[in-house]
Amino acid sequence: TRPGGFHSDPAWSPDGRSIAFTAGNGVGEGGRLYVIAANGSRLHGLPDVAEYVAGPRWSPDGRLLAVTGINTCGRACELPGVYVLRNDGSRARKVAEWSVGLDWSPDGRQLVLAAGSLAALALRSGTTRELVSGKDTLNGHESPDWQPR
């Protein structure tokens, strides 16, 4: 079944064979995560890690995806998180509490997270290291892009 509604956040896999994206109707339905072959075949929805997901990013080796997810708990309550899962949707885990933007390190061992400030998250240990301080999300850093030297 093809997802209807609003499609956003397309991201090419490193080998160029697949595209991850999100889709939702934009009216009370959360964004879901999908992967499709670059030729338009083999569309599959990945299991929900949160009510709404956004910004899928492939790991450099193409085996993992990282996404920002939000779960609601009432009118003014949101429980955000950053999730990493295999490209088939298995083994999802929450690795951080919040990020507006994220990107993988070239070696795939860290994520850079943006939520006003920039921080590097070591995936194996779970430790974070602030890279650049920021006062708030709207005036801070939102779209990191980790570049090799």
CA dist., res. 113 & res. 103, Å (int):
7
Give the pLDDT of residue 138. 43
CA dist., res. 114 & res. 15, Å (int):
26
Interval 93-134: pLDDT, tens: 999 987 778 999 999 999 999 887 889 999 999 999 988 886
Give the pLDDT of residue 60. 97
Cβ atoms within 10 A of the Cβ of 85, count? 20
- Residue ranges of the chain whose pLDDT lies below 50: 136-141
Collapsing DSSP to helix, strand or coil, 135 comes out as: coil
